[in-house]
Amino acid sequence: MTEQSGVAVLGATGSIGTSALDVVRLHRDRYKVVSLTGWRRIAALEPLLKEFAPAQIAAESESVSVIDVTVLDSCKGSRYLGGEEGLIAAATHPDVDTVIAGVSGAAGLGSTLAAVEAGKRVLIANKEPLVMCGQLVRNAALGSGACLMPIDSEHNAIFQCLPLELQQDVTSGRGIGSRSAGAGVSRITLTASGGPFLRASAAAIANATPAQALAHPTWNMGPKISVDSATLMNKGLELIEACNLFGLDESQIDIIIHPQSVLHSMVAFNDGSLIGQMGNPDMRIPISYGLAYPERASSGIEALDLVEIGQLGFERPDLERFPSLVLAREAAKSGRSVPIALNAANEIAVEAFLETRIRFYEIPQVVDRILQIHEPSEVSDLAHVVEIDLAVRALAREMVQRGLSS
Ligand SMILES: NC(=O)c1ccc[n+]([C@@H]2O[C@H](COP(=O)([O-])OP(=O)(O)OC[C@H]3O[C@@H](n4cnc5c(N)ncnc54)[C@H](OP(=O)(O)O)[C@@H]3O)[C@@H](O)[C@H]2O)c1
């Protein structure tokens, strides 16, 4: 019998967490859930606690206290802790080998970094920490011997297409920048579905409602990333994520629209070959890949039927209707603290849009204004990252409250 690997699922009540636990259920002989974290949706967390009886549980401090006592009785011996402290305890529990980082937004930064510092194998779906301070995450991996495994579908696709020696450069935290040319890699292409407004006019996009923005045509995801997919900021964040994770310059990375979302990204080689990874748009595939690597195990998802799909389309993104892409590329070019500012401003603007406090087209406007006033600085450590993030959030909140016309 194979030894079970201990797994922590951070963000277990979310879209990534749900997909991760589906894969774990398929392979109970291989994986044992050691830690589970939710945040506010305790009703969604409780059945998972009953099912997996994890050793470590975490949720928002105020929410932890409302977990039903009968549920806690059913997982005797579990430790539960609230807030960031709980997330970190879940990520660094001694019985955890693999951490699935599926918290949404910058809130996952501390626990993702703690998992890396603790030398875990870290499956990173939560792209924001890599956007904010990918270099710190990579340095931490180099120091601890952690294994970094991208499971954001595009970055996982690129990882799958790389030769083995470059895959090892990614997992170790070295990055592929210095060795990619020697290994024949010339460029990387990220694909984007184009989101729900791919064919919408600028006027229709300007008046988009939260419900329209949340209706993604090909992927089923949490609210923040769904809105990011509608503005195309998600692809912009992924551009920065790719630069920071792989150690590449933004000029080496292209973005193209591919509405069917079955070719998840590609690597171009200097002999003219283009190698891509294809699959149904379902996060259980990259999660299963990350869990089983270097082996492959069933994800529960069928292989693609290309004949059924029929035609695949590719086109360049429209930078006029989707200015977030331009803003993100500028932030990637500027580097230093600029991606932290971009990410923080975007999170505040998306939250305000979902609460109908600003219009859809004002999301990139908030980000643009913040980038215009942000003074870039070198980023030294986690405390510095958090300080910049909090300062920008306060500024963006104030901007939203005052109204963008003032
Ligand atoms: N969904 C996808 O298909 C997909 C694909 C690629 C990458 N990603 C990335 O994966 C991450 C998660 O996305 P998602 O779509 O799974 O999001 P989601 O469905 O909104 O789930 C977010 C999870 O994080 C928890 N959470 C929310 N706020 C938190 C906080 N302040 N502290 C700790 N935990 C908190 C939520 O708990 P409660 O619900 O209990 O409040 C939930 O478990 C994002 O960074 C996203 O960009 C997602």
Q: b/e string for 367-405 if b means 16 or more Cβ within 10 A?
A: bbbbbeebebeebeebebbbebbeebbebbbebbeeeee
Residue 333 Cβ contacting ligand 1 at under 6 Å: no
Peptide bond before 364: cis, by omega within 30 degrees of 0? no
Instruction: Name the residue at shortest CA distance from atom 45 of ligand 1.
Output: 126
Of 105, 126, 250, the C-alpha closest to 190 is 250
Look at residue 123 and give its three-state secondary structure: strand
- Among the candidates 151, 170, 201, a domain finishes at 151
Q: b/e string for 294-316 if b means 16 or more Cβ within 10 A?
A: eeeeebebeeeeeeeeeeeeeee
Residue 130 Cβ contacting ligand 1 at under 6 Å: no
Phi and psi at residue 391, in whole multiples of 5°?
Answer: -65, -45
Residue 266 falls inside a structural domain: no
Residue 225 Cβ contacting ligand 1 at under 6 Å: yes
Question: Which bin fits 328, alpha (ψ -120 to 50), beta or left (φ > 0)?
Answer: alpha
Sheet strand arrangement including 79-82: 79-82, 56-59, 31-37, 5-10, 98-101, 121-124, 147-150
Residue 285 falls inside a structural domain: no
Residue 143 falls inside a structural domain: yes
Q: Count structural domains, the chain.
A: 2
Cα-atom radius of gyration of the chain, to the nearest Å? 20
Lookup: tokens for 157: 């696709």
Chain centre distance of CA 106? 10
> Regarding beta strands 274-278 and 185-192, do their DSSP bridges make them parallel or antiparallel, or are they unpaired?
unpaired
Residue 173 Cβ contacting ligand 1 at under 6 Å: no
**pLDDT value for 136:** 97
Query: Residue 13 CA: which ligand 1 atom is closest?
Result: 43
Q: Other C-beta atoms within 10 Å of 119: how many?
A: 16
**pLDDT value for 345:** 98
Residue 39 falls inside a structural domain: yes
Q: Which of 104, 112, 154, 238 to mutate to test the pocket of ligand 1 (most atoms within 8 A of CB)?
A: 104
Non-local (6+) Cβ contacts of 176 within 8 A are 162, 166, 169, 170, 183, 185, 246, 247, 248
- Among the candidates 123, 151, 179, a domain finishes at 151
Residue 14 Cβ contacting ligand 1 at under 6 Å: yes
Of 296, 351, 15, the C-alpha closest to 156 is 296
Chain centre distance of CA 57? 22
Intra-chain end-to-end CA distance of the chain, in Å: 66
**pLDDT value for 177:** 92
Instruction: Name the residue at shortest CA distance from atom 1 of ligand 1.
Output: 221
Lookup: tokens for 75: 């997982």
Residue 17 Cβ contacting ligand 1 at under 6 Å: yes
Instruction: Name the residue at shortest CA distance from atom 2 of ligand 1.
Output: 221
- Among the candidates 100, 126, 151, a domain finishes at 151
Residue 257 falls inside a structural domain: no
Lookup: tokens for 56: 């470590």
Q: Looking at the DSSP assignment, which residues form a beta bridge with residue 150?
A: 124
Of 170, 147, 146, the C-alpha closest to 158 is 170
Residue 70 falls inside a structural domain: yes
Non-local (6+) Cβ contacts of 314 within 8 A are 191, 256, 257, 258
**pLDDT value for 2:** 63
CA of 12 to the centre of ligand 1 (A): 8
Residue 264 falls inside a structural domain: no
Rounded (to 5) percent helix, strand, coil in the chain: 50, 15, 35
Residue 233 buriedness (CB in 10 A; 0-12 / 13-18 / 19+) = buried
- The CATH number of residue 362's host domain is 1.10.1740.10
Non-local (6+) Cβ contacts of 306 within 8 A are none
Residue 261 Cβ contacting ligand 1 at under 6 Å: no
**pLDDT value for 402:** 96
pTM for the full predicted model:
0.97
Instruction: Name the residue at shortest CA distance from atom 21 of ligand 1.
Output: 14
CA of 389 to the centre of ligand 1 (A): 18
Residues spanned by the domain of 109: 5-151
- The CATH number of residue 81's host domain is 3.40.50.720
Question: Which bin fits 93, alpha (ψ -120 to 50), beta or left (φ > 0)?
Answer: beta
Query: Residue 224 CA: which ligand 1 atom is closest?
Result: 20
**pLDDT value for 356:** 97
Instruction: Name the residue at shortest CA distance from atom 23 of ligand 1.
Output: 11
CA of 125 to the centre of ligand 1 (A): 9
Q: How far apart are CA 295 and CA 262, in angstroms?
A: 22
Residue 24 falls inside a structural domain: yes
**pLDDT value for 133:** 98
CB 396 within 8 A of CB 358: no
**pLDDT value for 3:** 83
Phi and psi at residue 223, in whole multiples of 5°?
Answer: -65, -40
Query: Residue 128 CA: which ligand 1 atom is closest?
Result: 45
Q: How far apart are CA 346 and CA 59, in angstroms?
A: 24
Chain centre distance of CA 166? 21
List, run by run, the mean pLDDT of 10-residue segments along the chain (406 residues): 88 98 98 97 94 95 82 81 96 98 98 98 98 98 98 98 97 94 94 97 95 91 96 98 97 98 97 98 98 98 95 98 98 98 98 97 98 96 97 98 87
